[in-house]
Amino acid sequence: MRPNSTKDRFLAGKPIVNGWLSIPSSYAAEVIARQGFHAVTVDVQHGMMGFETAMTMLQAISSTDATPMVRCPSLDEPTIMRLLDAGAYGVICPQIDNADMAARFVAACRYAPEGNRSFGPARGPLYAGPDYFERANHHVLALAMIESQAALDNLDAILATPGLDGIYVGPNDLALSLGMKPGAETGGIVAEAIARIVAATRARGLLAGIFCASSALARQRLAEGFHLVTPGNDANMLGLVCKARIEETLAGQSAPAASATAGY
């Protein structure tokens, strides 16, 4: 079976830079996946795509060296299983607030006897290999999102869930849950919560991931002990590059004199 290179990097102690897709385009997915990201996640929760488009995006990613991953819309087991059948090698599940939810999530990602994933691998044998069924439980990553006060309260129980590979911090929803505004993750109670999460996750030997607003913040998170960082999403990067190109193009240009006949 095709190895999960992201899991292999984690086990080898190497940093993981994860791309994040919100634009519904397999072409954009392919372009981004070929830029050197170790993993690329299709965001089916807040991204602008449905299942069919997400599948074509996973196909595009799986043609590269990047690990194809998804963020599922919610803890809905049939949807999680279908996204795995579509080719996801890892699932990030939002709003995991307690151990029972974590156990349900893990079970949806694992074939029996470790879980209750329904058999119907669809694309699995096509991109992963004929032994997909026998080895998928080992290769597929299950990452629970920690993004609420409830999840913080139940953090140790969530991390103790058998079969859970790690967590992924949603800093903006975490800030909201703690009574702060989005973007408030670099100081105060939100920063303290994030520090607690990464310390507890590393103590369990699990993978710690987090979404970051910039590459500078992503570097900081790696220094703090996170294994996987996402330095922004595709829409944000596209906007920043476009704005920079416009500013560079107009740098040093003076406005042309108005024509005497211009206007009405």
Q: Which tens digits make up the pLDDT trace of 140-179? A: 999 999 999 999 999 999 999 999 999 999 999 999 999 9
The CA-based dihedral angle spanning residues 127, 133, 137, 140, taken in that order and rounded to the nearest 10 degrees: 10
On the question of a cis peptide bond just before residue 182, with omega within 30 degrees of 0, the verdict is: no
**Where on the phi/psi map is residue 36: left (φ > 0), alpha (ψ -120 to 50), or beta?**
left
| Catalytic residue of the set 46, 138, 139, 227 | 46
Is 139 noted as a catalytic residue in this protein? Answer: no
Q: What is the pLDDT of residue 262?
A: 44
Q: What is the pLDDT of residue 257?
A: 58
Structure tokens at 145: 């999102």
- Per the CB < 8 A criterion, the answer to whether 96 and 165 are in contact is no
- Per the CB < 8 A criterion, the answer to whether 146 and 158 are in contact is yes
Dist. CA 189–CA 217, nearest whole Å: 17
Per-residue model confidence as pLDDT tens for the chain (264 residues): 999 999 999 999 999 999 999 999 999 999 999 999 999 999 999 999 999 999 999 999 999 999 999 999 999 999 999 999 999 999 999 999 999 999 999 999 999 999 999 998 799 889 899 999 999 999 999 999 999 999 999 999 999 999 999 999 999 999 999 999 998 777 799 999 999 999 999 999 999 999 999 999 999 999 999 999 999 999 999 999 999 999 999 998 876 655 544 443
